[in-house]
Amino acid sequence: MIELTIPQATPSLNPMLGQFWANRVKQRRQWQWLVRAARLEAKVFLSAPLPRAKVIITRHGRRVLDQDNLYGGTKMLTDSLVREGLLADDSPDHIELTVQQQVTKSPRTVVRIEAL
């Protein structure tokens, strides 16, 4: 099992939808760097991406999001997991995605990846 801790909570989908495209690109790059840093900190080096995986994302944030904003806000994170070579693809054929949330004072995101 791979566990990554990212020191930032995934965003809500609503603010992302209203962003100017350049800001969205900047945020996508930021998430890729956050995933890369978490991967290196956890010393995760795969020779090939996992073809099928169970992915559990736990968002630790200051407030509760509704389900569509919670799942939609993980798009940049799952895309970054693919770009960083952890997952072969983020389609339903390749991952079983579960997103959870907890209210905390210290925002972060914990990603658990298990090969299927």
Torsion of CA 13, 40, 52, 68, to 10 degrees: -10
Extract the tokens encoding 17.
Answer: 């939808």
Say how many Å lie between the first and final Cα of the chain, rounded.
10
Sheet holding 108-115, edge to edge: 2-6, 108-115, 53-61, 95-103
pLDDT at 13: 85
Extract the tokens encoding 33.
Answer: 């760097």
pLDDT at 107: 96
Q: What is the pLDDT of residues 7-30, one digit of tens each?
A: 999 998 877 777 788 888 898 999
Q: Hunting for tokens 């970054």 — which residue is that?
A: 80
Pick the CATH number of 2-115 from 3.30.1330.70, 3.30.1330.60, 3.90.1300.10, 3.30.1330.10: 3.30.1330.70
Q: What is the pLDDT of residues 28-50, one digit of tens each?
A: 999 999 999 999 999 999 989 99
Q: What is the pLDDT of residues 96-105, one digit of tens each?
A: 999 999 999 9
Domain ranges of the chain: 2-115
Better-scored residue on pLDDT, 57 or 12: 57
Buried b or exposed e, range 16-38, using 16+ CB within 10 angstroms: beeeeeeeeeeebeebbebbeeb
